[in-house]
Structure 1
Amino acid sequence: MKDSTTLELTEGQQLALEQLHRIVQASQGSVAATHVAATADGYVEARVSVGCANLPPTQDGLRLRSVEAVTLRIPPNFPFTAPSVQTRHTRFAGTPHVNWGRHLCLYRSTATEWDPADGMYGFITRLLDWFEAAAAGQLDRPGEPLHPPNALTDHTAGLLVIRHDAPVARPDGPWLGAAVLHQVNDIRCDVVGWLAAEDPWPDSLEQLRESAALPADARAFLAPVVVTTKHLTFEYPLTARELVVFMARDHITPRLLLGLTGIVAGHNRTLLCPDADATASTGDDEDTPAAPVHLLLGTPSRGIAGEGPRRTHLVAWHLPDFADQVGRLAADTAFSGHAYLAELGDEVVRFGTDWLDRQSTRWMRVYEARPEVTVRRDHASPAAWLRGKRILVLGAGALGAPVADMCARAGAAHLTVADHGLVHPGILARQPYTDADIGFFKARVLADRLNRIDPHATHVEALVGNVTTRLSALDLHTFDLIWDCTANRIVRAHLERARRTDTTPWPHC
């Protein structure tokens, strides 16, 4: 191991190399370090050899050489940031827990699994465990969640939030159809529904909104979806050419991709541009897509290792606007029953395939919010009782506002906030309002804010007025829980009298 005294090291890097030196000395030849060098980005790289001759190969395991060489990258702020490790070859590419062909994934989450106190001793132990599991074919151990495929995301491609459970492929072929997307803002869309290719699709934007339970003014459109019958790869490629090769293993051809993209693009024009036929003769807006082109790809890659059928893992490719035109032209010709158009369609598909070959795959960021693959953080807490309940909160002040916030975040189905007070400068010291809220009713300001927490799960209603007089107008039996957060003795007296004179069972109070 090269003398590190000539390198400019941080205190943490010096500690890491000292620990690595002691590990090499104690390993009796199973671990060796041959070279140490500083990099331009402030890291220190150490070349390490790991003896694997004592790891017998298995049918499902990696074929390891007797000595495997890796490079450790030690960050400047070690041990508060974990090192990383990569191979100097790509023999492990496509294997679970190998990112970008070379980088070995030793930790599912460094925030919970990396202990700075363990230092390099813990890291090398983890590396040895990785090789042992790789040889045994147990990188995904039975009973543990499978590591989903990786896609190098492009932050300029947009963000997709998956809210509905995904379709699965059929036994005899891929699932083809469309996703219903709700465009929340310029960069984000939510998947709020699915339409199989053989199912009837909405004929108007109003029908689409109604089918997805979206507001009347919501921007919605469709995106093409392909769900494959088999796991394609652990690492989605950066070029469309490679992706097409992978998908061909499941009999998904460029003709099918272009045709589906075109069918969805054409239907989006029907939904979003109902007067498109009138402008087609003049060519107006023909070159402008009615909606962004997002191609969703699903593979059976989620679940628990060693258990039953896998759930669908989803990625999304943001295609250039030109895909709209190529796809519509392919759909109109390649799938036509007329011989001349079908022949022309072959030319369109060849052109489209050549065009795809030159494209990079701009993978969108995908956030999961579908019940089948996500678990609420509070699912085992007492707050889970609030989910789906109807709740009345009396008072929107220093106590009522945080209570209402907690109920909304817990997933209450309906929340009514009652208060007659206005926001004024004096309450800003201890109530969750801002200078911009001054002069507005607290209940309405709070309801507007809480409705933005999870509009898909909770509806928050403001009830402005004197609580003692408004109580009689409410059917209190429609609520599952009543919070009195007014600190007002008169309100409390009204509630107690109502409970005493009512013989029917009351909600929790």
Structure 2
Amino acid sequence: MSKRILSHWQRQVLADLGAIANAFPGDVEMIGKFRLDRSQSMRFRLRLRTADMPRVFGGLPLGEQEEFVVTVGASDLTPPRIEVDHLRFLHHAHVLQGHRLCLYLDPSREWDPIGGFGSFIDRLVDWLGEAASGRFDAQTALYHAVGGVLHATPGAPTVVVRSPLPSGKRAHHGWLVARTPHRFDLLLDRRPVLERADHVPIVVLDADLPFGAGTNFRTFLRTVDAPYHGKLTPGVHLRGRIDTGLSATVLTVLGASAIRKADGTAQRLIIAVPHPTGDSPHLIAASIPASGADHLRGLIRSNRKSSSMICVDPAEIDPTTSLEWWQVSDERREVTIRRDSARPVTAYTGKTVHVWGCGGLGSWIAEYVVRAGAKRVILCDPGVISGGLLVRQNFVEADVGSTKVEALARRLRAISDTVEVTASDAMMPGEGDLAEVDLIIDATVSIAISRVLDGLAAALEQRPVLAQVATDARTGTLGAMTVSMPPLRVGPLTIDREAGKQIAKDGTYEAFHALWRPSTSGDEIIPTRGCSTPTFHGSAADMAGVAGSLTSILGAHLGAGTAVSGTHLISLPHGEAGPLRTFVPALSPPAGPLPADETM
């Protein structure tokens, strides 16, 4: 048996605490002595003077002094843990299970051990001040509805939820559909194609579960009936109804689902827990293993000898029946905010977008547009994937030999369940496919395609936004994007060439001059021996960087609210030109058409 000794970090904590107590006598002190447990964690009681902290009605109910239990691990990689041994703080934001204080929402970013235990004390004092003043938002408290703890058994699958729950009913039907060994989707309507869907009841509780939902089936049922069971002490504020007998309803709906399944089959349950601040309930998912589900089926069959009703006494449940908690990826719009909601790419949400050319830039742009929430994407490219393209294009080894559009379509569909992807192995779709399009992005670097887009801009009264993107041949670190927005009747090719004339006169942007000049010897490469088409240099990092920047800039165009056309030029920070960016607004249309033999 190894001897329990203090670590360097724990010794530092004690030294820091002693220095603080000496500097602020009566304000901070350790009560009694510390002790080390079997896990080498050090625990001690800490007393703080809190009499001078401002208070408001509804804030954390502080006394003249408060005592805390501090747990310090052997390493300073994580902050100390702090708890109280009473329930006066129950139901307050960022108080977990009534006793643990959540001082750090993200310890990896908020905890810096360089400040020692003194920085932890400062954090605690600030936290108590915020809590007593009622400045915490209970809406953002971590998993507040189930005691502030995440219910997820290690290694258990995840349930993805996207549909809002119907209101006004105690229980609902649901179906779990296995997408992968580690993911299930929750559906609220059983579709004919889902023959292998697993029925799962959804039960709505009366009140939140301030101490969590239990660790096994028996304790869960008891907790449903009495969320405060064994926890009641004077001064504890109760919320919701107590001893509702809801466990009988849970067993009835569970039994009705389980009895229709074969023996040896597990039984799942979705629990909707009301949030203390109202709005949509918090969802947790439980799985009763096959042995426990068989036990429930046996009770139902036994009880049916006296009644046709499904009726199970909670007291009959085997106390050893385990419960596995599945993590819930709750993606309902009413409870989830997209991480890109404040970024320019939100302009692509719900849009129909064409991407013509699925190579160095187009293959990356298509992915970014789908991740941003585009409703429909049409891909056009006649090319087939070879191994050499993997260096810079958005494909993988398994795609070699496939057409670019089919391989990219597979990837885009794997990114989003909701996007509709159409793949065409032509350079551009037919005229009939150009209706109801919000945006066309041309990444072909084809003069013929450019002429088509100029024709669309001139001919169509109601037309989509047109954008052309390109990079330089020598480094792949420069990016050019020309945008033509309605009602302008001039297309990207015309706008681009006018911009080139202006850039050529400005020495500040000499690095971009090459975008309008024919490639010189050495700018391009011949990727394979023989009759191989010259192509530009560039890595996947270069292409993704240029494509990502241009996608965001184009999103800003779409979401600006005003129709601005012109040419954007960018240079990646690591490129020879360094970080550069400029915009050349589109000029008035020239008097006549461009010469037919003019080149880009």
Does the pair score TM above 0.5?
Answer: yes
1:63, 1:15 → 2: CA distance?
A: 29
2:97, 2:259 → 1: CA distance?
A: 36
2:218, 2:301 → 1: CA distance?
A: 24
1:102, 1:209 → 2: CA distance?
A: 45
Q: TM-score, normalised by structure 2?
A: 0.65
Q: Aligned with 2:321: secondary structure?
A: coil
1:209 aligns to what?
191
Q: Aligned with 1:181: secondary structure?
A: strand
2:270 aligns to what?
296
1:61, 1:434 → 2: CA distance?
A: 55
Distance 1:142 1:437, change over 3 A: closer
Q: Aligned with 2:334: secondary structure?
A: coil
1:261 aligns to what?
254
Written as runs of structure 1 = structure 2, the 5 A alignment for 1:33-112 is 33=30, 35=33, 41=39, 45=43, 47-52=45-50, 61-62=60-61, 66-74=65-73, 76-78=75-77, 81-87=78-84, 89=85, 91=87, 95-96=91-92, 97-99=94-96, 102-112=99-109
Residue 186 (structure 2) pairs with residue 191 (structure 1): yes
Cα distance per residue 1:431-466 (max 9 Å; x no partner): 1222232211111111101101121x212222113x
- The range that moved more, 38-47 or 352-361, is 38-47
Distance 1:29 1:300, change over 3 A: same
CA contact 1:421–1:442 (8 Å) conserved in 2: yes
Query: CA RMSD, aligned part only?
Result: 3.5
Distance 1:330 1:231, change over 3 A: same
1:125, 1:492 → 2: CA distance?
A: 63
- The range that moved more, 44-53 or 294-303, is 44-53
Q: Aligned with 1:311: secondary structure?
A: coil
Cα distance per residue 1:121-145 (max 9 Å; x no partner): 33212223444566x4948547755
The partner residue of 1:365 within 323, 327, 335 is 327
CA contact 2:151–2:284 (8 Å) conserved in 1: no
Considering only CA atoms, is the larger Rg found in Structure 1 or Structure 2? 2
The partner residue of 2:363 within 397, 401, 410 is 401
1:245, 1:63 → 2: CA distance?
A: 31
1:302, 1:394 → 2: CA distance?
A: 50
1:53, 1:494 → 2: CA distance?
A: 76
Deviation at 1:410, TM superposition (A): 0.7
CA contact 1:53–1:67 (8 Å) conserved in 2: no
CA contact 2:300–2:312 (8 Å) conserved in 1: no
1:180 aligns to what?
175
Residue 386 (structure 2) pairs with residue 412 (structure 1): no
Q: Aligned with 1:478: secondary structure?
A: coil
Q: TM-score, normalised by structure 1?
A: 0.75
The partner residue of 1:319 within 266, 284, 288 is 288
2:21, 2:61 → 1: CA distance?
A: 25
Q: Which runs of 5+ in 1 are unaligned?
A: 1-5, 195-207, 211-215, 270-285, 304-308
Residue 429 (structure 2) pairs with residue 460 (structure 1): no
Deviation at 1:7, TM superposition (A): 4.5
- The range that moved more, 402-411 or 42-51, is 42-51
1:492, 1:158 → 2: CA distance?
A: 49
CA contact 2:60–2:134 (8 Å) conserved in 1: yes
Cα distance per residue 1:155-174 (max 9 Å; x no partner): 24422122112344x4xxx6
Residue 245 (structure 2) pairs with residue 247 (structure 1): no
Distance 1:191 1:419, change over 3 A: same
Deviation at 1:310, TM superposition (A): 3.1
2:133, 2:204 → 1: CA distance?
A: 27
CA contact 2:360–2:392 (8 Å) conserved in 1: yes
1:272 aligns to what?
none
The one-letter code of the counterpart of 1:121 is: G
Distance 1:425 1:358, change over 3 A: closer
Deviation at 1:235, TM superposition (A): 2.1
CA contact 2:203–2:271 (8 Å) conserved in 1: yes
The partner residue of 1:121 within 118, 121, 137 is 118
The one-letter code of the counterpart of 1:209 is: R
The one-letter code of the counterpart of 2:263 is: D
Deviation at 1:246, TM superposition (A): 2.6
Q: Which runs of 5+ in 2 are unaligned?
A: 226-241, 467-600
Percent identical among aligned pairs is: 26
1:155 aligns to what?
154
